[in-house]
Amino acid sequence: MGFVITVDGPAGAGKSSVTRRISKRLGIRYMDTGAIYRAIAYILDQKGIAPVENEELARAVASIGLRIEAEGIFVDGTNVTEAIRSYRIDRIVSGYAALKTVRGALLDLQREQAKHGDLIADGRDTGTVVFPNADLKFFLTASPEARAERRYKELLKKGEAVVYKEVLAQIHERDRTDSSREVAPLREPAGAIHVDTSLMTENEVVNELAFIIQNRMR
């Protein structure tokens, strides 16, 4: 097992963009666990399987072939990296991520990734459940308004027709589902470094985290 860094926090705190940039800058492998949950949600949604625990769901989850490659995330051989970033997936993913069957199936896959050297992972439970013994843990957060604003701009850029108020409502809804679910709810890990990014630029966040990581890895 290499040096493991976890970055957890609510939807829209900037975890993925920040973590991806740090990974590139410091040459540490990156695992976007949100993308893994999005990929599962995407394929189950396409198959018409509802986010409820039953045999059909269990069978479907067990038969999904998920691969994380340098080029992106693949489900049954198809690269879904772009497709999983849609507003539809934003809205449905939390429902699937709350299911025990789904989380259980993804646990080993995530832990496997730390066996190939240093790793920086971001998500909701990477520091609490997936890697409780991680070498360094961060908790990245921001006000719901700041997070909604960022997500809104991102979606507009992609050409999606969205309304700010709806994006904000959806952020509140995702916070509620992610924090109140029974299995692996979003929690700040004990001993994590807490960073509120509401008033910080992405560059500032990247610089601060990279500085701390470099010092600790020395």
Site residues for ligand DC per CB under 6 A: 11, 33-34, 37-38, 93-94, 97, 123-126, 174, 178
Whichever of 118 and 178 has its CB closer to ligand DC, that residue is: 178
Q: How far is the CB of 32 from ligand DC (least distance, A)?
A: 7
Whichever of 112 and 214 has its CB closer to ligand DC, that residue is: 112
Q: How far is the CB of 146 from ligand DC (least distance, A)?
A: 15
Amino acid at 197: T
DSSP code string of 98-123? T-HHHHHHHHHHHHHGGGGS-EEEEE
Phi, psi of 186 (to 5 degrees): -65, 120
Q: How far is the CB of 216 from ligand DC (least distance, A)?
A: 22
Whichever of 156 and 214 has its CB closer to ligand DC, that residue is: 156
Contact criterion met (CB below 8 Å) for 43 and 76: yes
| Strand pairing category for 4-8 and 136-141 | parallel
Q: What is the DSSP letter of 84?
A: G
Of the candidates 78, 85, 87, the one whose C-alpha atom is nearest the C-alpha of residue 37 is 85
Q: How far is the CB of 211 from ligand DC (least distance, A)?
A: 24
Q: How far is the CB of 81 from ligand DC (least distance, A)?
A: 12
Angle subtended by helix axes 15-26 and 33-46, to nearest 10: 130
Whichever of 123 and 189 has its CB closer to ligand DC, that residue is: 123
Whichever of 21 and 174 has its CB closer to ligand DC, that residue is: 174
